Structure 1
Amino acid sequence: MSDIAVLANAVITIVGVVVLILKLRITPAIALVLGALYLGLVTGLGVPGTLESITTGFGELMTEVGLLIAFGVLLGAVMAQLGAIEKLVDVLVRACGPRALPYAFASTIGTVLQSIFADVLLVITAPLASRLSRQIGPWGAARMTAAMALGIEVGLVFVVPGVGAVALAGVLGLPFGKMFLFGAVTAVFTIVTTLALFTALAKRGLWKPELDERDDTLVDEAEQPAAERGTDHLPSLGVALAPLVVALALIAFGAIAEMAGWAHPVVALLGDPVIALLIGLIGALLIARWKLPAEQVESSLKRGFHESGQILILTGVGGSLAQTVKDAGLGEILKGYFTTSTVFPLLLVWLVAAVLHIAIGSVTLASITAAGVLGPVMPALGIDPVFVALAAGAGSLFAIHATSNTFWLLQTLLPQTTRGALKSCTFAVSCASVLAMLPIQLMALVF
């Protein structure tokens, strides 16, 4: 098959997946498998080759990310039950003044707390953000609603063990520690600069309190902060956070050791993200067994298993499509259309992910599809795959809107109208999508 025909069928595959999800309401997992089947068959892989690509892609990606996602989600579920988030926010409130609090709040959510499944993290922290928005003075609602949106969405795609970041690292075969280090730098820069920009624009007329805010906060009893439900039986902040801090420290140390060439079996074992999160999970379970009734611990684990299941399936079939694209030879074909510049290829990755997200409405699906399609060509251009992952994550943040479940959770749980959510979520996170490319492109040129 000619190169043009392969390129055309790759485009048809992507468009077909979008149509299946958007118009025919087919679940993304099935749509991705159908897309992989079509691409494999029409590009000459044959039935056995196509099936092998699908199963190999799924299996290899699950080998890379399966336990990491499961352990990360379970650790987050147990930590949420221990009340660690509410206690951490209380410390931030006491340590930071009104001016710095939104920045610290968003950066903490976008980095430290990414082991907690996004929807659960949002439900737990939104009442706290709503309460703080009334305590930090003028433009409090604008600043805290944007801080929530940025922390949740930016951390999801950049910082391991956020499920989007884990999926991207798995699709591209990246060391998770390396993704963690570069992703954390990108996330903090993006959150701080975007929130500063949004705050400045809000004060200059972008945010209209009479139209963009509402007085009531729709928070039911189950979503009240732990401090309001009684926390006498819960551990201190240091104890509650210790398992997560230990896990993140081990991941970071492992990444630094690998980059510095410190080869030792013990370092390799403890620095492996799966082992690090397993250690953190065991520690969190021991604390939970000590401080909580058995039924609460079992409930948190049950919720964690439920949440991780759907993430694992979607991530795995994303790997199936990526493997089929690779086996069809698309990467080798695209190689001839690029120069050795790092700027344009990464912008193309961003653009594809942005278009996919606008069409599909799924941040994770858009990012892993863009990375899977364009990732194979980048090493030949001298571009480290970690920057491909970050560019795909950045593009997938563009134009989060009414098709996103997170959009409606942010609108409902925070003191803002739908008009306000379009500004604090859609506009602010879209700005983050663009601003994130600054450190990504700079790091790609330097490293």
Structure 2
Amino acid sequence: MPLVTVAAGIVALLILIMGFKLNTFISLIIVSFGVALALGMPLEQIIKTIETGLGGTLGHLALIFGLGAMLGKLIADSGGAQRIAMTLVNKFGEKNIQWAVVIASFIIGVALFFEVGLVLLIPIVFAISRQLKISILYLGIPMAASLSVTHGFLPPHPGPTVIAGEFGANIGEVLLYGLIVAIPTVILAGPVFTKFAQKLVPDSFTKSGDIASLGKQKEFKLEDTPGFGISVFTALLPVILMSIATIISLLQKTIGLEDNGVLAAIRFIGEAGTSMLISLLVAIYTMGLARKIPIKNVMESCTTAISHIGMMLLIIGGGGAFKQVLIDGGVGDYVAELFKETSLSPILLAWIIAAILRISLGSATVAALTTAGLVIPMLGQTDANLALVVLATGAGSVIASHVNDAGFWIFKEYFGLSMKETFATWTLLETIISVAGLGIILLLSSFV
């Protein structure tokens, strides 16, 4: 049975990554070859399938991912991210400090990839905690919730961007619906869950944490950073451009407006690649040249950003290769046939498959891409909204982060938690994001 072969492939992947400590990309390519052979694919087709999967996935993602990494790096290196965080903290005051952290982390999380946002925000959270004499975890949970939600639901982050490309969904719609899903999910998984966690594991809120491993962080005097307004505008510009284009396109369909050059130009600007390029050019000016920073230094930040995402791109490409093997090897068709008569929503099915793979594999991106390989053949048989299927896959792929996920250990070590406390905070937090996200997506599917 094809599903037995897939299960064996996933077990092999776990053994290679966790048992033999083999690089994730190498492991994915080895397993892709092994599963292709086990599925009986012709030998001459295997390498073509792997190349097609790798190239097709990266071809869609590399432009957006690369430009997004540069944009985030410029905002971080200029002090723009620090300005956003500290301004909101000062405006909200001690009483509403959690909400300041939630909003700052959300804005920064849109522009920066999860790990970068974490490294940037944790020292700020620790500094605020010392200054106000409050628990670091009290601020850390809302921060992690915001970063995790933006990472799971909002382009240009790799998960939703790459799944949108695989499903052929409109990335602007994914962003728009993603924002509708993200905001209530952040509130539930952040400030609301913190109150519950304080009762569940009270001792974890007394821990002092340790960020020595982050090394010396670049600190700015607030007056030396870009203004709050321009920092927020620069960070959110891709979201603004893509959202405007999507809203206008949806209105055009609703009203029945005839297409013209202006609407075509708006759609072009709202394309993910175009909006990211425009946003990067704006950031080069607002975060660099306007502040008298030499272009050479600005370009050094861009180069550093790209060097940091090389391996992540390869891992995503490896996930794309595995996905293509599942499609070309007939596993996707087998799953589609299996669920042909089922009344189960493709949204729910995508979430269930992604959740099972996430718990097994640890990597949210690999889980999402493997899900795509199993779900794509089903999408031709359904009228489900593709953007919502993308978001459901993203929601499933963040569930129950545990010992096979790097995020689990990062959170544990930085906040000085025991294993039990990490399960009761971080693992539960990620599960709330996944389940709450699915609930809102299903509700949204009744209206769109």
Query: Residues 220 and 325 (structure 1 numbering): CA distance in 2 closer, same or farther, change over 3 Å?
Result: closer
Tell me if the contact between 1:73 and 1:117 (Cα under 8 Å) persists in the aligned partners. Answer: yes
Tell me if the contact between 1:110 and 1:156 (Cα under 8 Å) persists in the aligned partners. Answer: no
Map of 1:105 onto structure 2: 101
Does 301-310 or 75-84 show the bigger shift?
Answer: 301-310
Quote the offset at 1:385 in angstroms.
Answer: 2.8
Residue 397 of structure 2 aligns with an amino acid whose one-letter code is: S
Map of 1:184 onto structure 2: 179
Quote the offset at 1:342 in angstroms.
Answer: 6.6
| Counterpart mapping for 1:132-147 below 5 A | 132-133=128-129, 140-147=135-142
What SS is found at the alignment partner of 1:446?
A: coil
- Total equivalences in the alignment: 438
Quote the offset at 1:123 in angstroms.
Answer: 1.1
Q: Establish whether residue 206 from structure 1 lines up as the match of residue 205 from structure 2.
A: no
Map of 1:57 onto structure 2: 53
Gapped regions of structure 1 (runs ≥ 5): none
Does 328-337 or 99-108 show the bigger shift?
Answer: 99-108
Query: Residues 325 and 146 (structure 1 numbering): CA distance in 2 closer, same or farther, change over 3 Å?
Result: same
Residue 123 of structure 2 aligns with an amino acid whose one-letter code is: P
Query: Residues 247 and 223 (structure 1 numbering): CA distance in 2 closer, same or farther, change over 3 Å?
Result: farther
Query: Residues 28 and 215 (structure 1 numbering): CA distance in 2 closer, same or farther, change over 3 Å?
Result: closer
Residue 281 of structure 1 aligns with an amino acid whose one-letter code is: L
Quote the offset at 1:273 in angstroms.
Answer: 1.0
Distance 1:136 1:391 in 2: 38
Residue 206 of structure 2 aligns with an amino acid whose one-letter code is: E
Map of 1:289 onto structure 2: 289
Q: What TM-score results when the alignment is normalised by the length of structure 2?
A: 0.87
Residue 215 of structure 1 aligns with an amino acid whose one-letter code is: S
Quote the offset at 1:72 in angstroms.
Answer: 0.4
Distance 2:251 2:324 in 1: 31
Deviations 1:16-66 (A, max 9, x none): 323322223222222222232233334343123222222122222222111
| Counterpart mapping for 1:417-436 below 5 A | 419-436=420-437
Does 354-363 or 404-413 show the bigger shift?
Answer: 404-413
Distance 2:357 2:31 in 1: 14
Quote the offset at 1:111 in angstroms.
Answer: 5.3
| Counterpart mapping for 1:10-21 below 5 A | 10-21=6-17
Query: Residues 111 and 240 (structure 1 numbering): CA distance in 2 closer, same or farther, change over 3 Å?
Result: closer
Tell me if the contact between 1:36 and 1:320 (Cα under 8 Å) persists in the aligned partners. Answer: yes
| Counterpart mapping for 1:107-256 below 5 A | 107-110=103-106, 113-133=109-129, 140-203=135-198, 205-209=199-203, 211-215=204-208, 217-218=210-211, 223-224=216-217, 226=219, 229-256=220-247
Tell me if the contact between 2:335 and 2:374 (Cα under 8 Å) persists in the aligned partners. Answer: no
Distance 1:220 1:55 in 2: 38
| Counterpart mapping for 1:22-421 below 5 A | 22-98=18-94, 100-110=96-106, 113-133=109-129, 140-203=135-198, 205-209=199-203, 211-215=204-208, 217-218=210-211, 223-224=216-217, 226=219, 229-261=220-252, 263=259, 264-287=263-286, 288-291=288-291, 292-293=293-294, 296-338=297-339, 343=344, 345-414=346-415, 419-421=420-422
Deviations 1:292-323 (A, max 9, x none): 35564244223211122122212222222222
Q: What TM-score results when the alignment is normalised by the length of structure 1?
A: 0.88
Identity of aligned pairs, percent?
24
Deviations 1:306-362 (A, max 9, x none): 122122212222222222222223333222332676755444433332332233222
Distance 1:260 1:341 in 2: 34
Distance 1:247 1:27 in 2: 33
Deviations 1:382-439 (A, max 9, x none): 3233233222222222222344333333344447566544333122222222221101
Tell me if the contact between 1:361 and 1:404 (Cα under 8 Å) persists in the aligned partners. Answer: yes
Quote the offset at 1:237 in angstroms.
Answer: 2.0
Deviations 1:89-136 (A, max 9, x none): 123223335564424533543455333132221111112222334567
Residue 441 of structure 1 aligns with an amino acid whose one-letter code is: L
Distance 1:85 1:185 in 2: 24
Residue 145 of structure 2 aligns with an amino acid whose one-letter code is: L
Quote the offset at 1:284 in angstroms.
Answer: 1.2
What SS is found at the alignment partner of 2:440?
A: helix
Residue 273 of structure 1 aligns with an amino acid whose one-letter code is: A
Deviations 1:349-382 (A, max 9, x none): 3333233223322222222222332233134133
Quote the offset at 1:222 in angstroms.
Answer: 5.9
What SS is found at the alignment partner of 1:71?
A: helix
Quote the offset at 1:144 in angstroms.
Answer: 1.3
What is the root-mean-square deviation of aligned Cα atoms in Å? 2.8
Tell me if the contact between 1:143 and 1:199 (Cα under 8 Å) persists in the aligned partners. Answer: yes
Deviations 1:157-182 (A, max 9, x none): 21111222222222323222121112
What SS is found at the alignment partner of 2:111?
A: coil
Residue 251 of structure 1 aligns with an amino acid whose one-letter code is: M
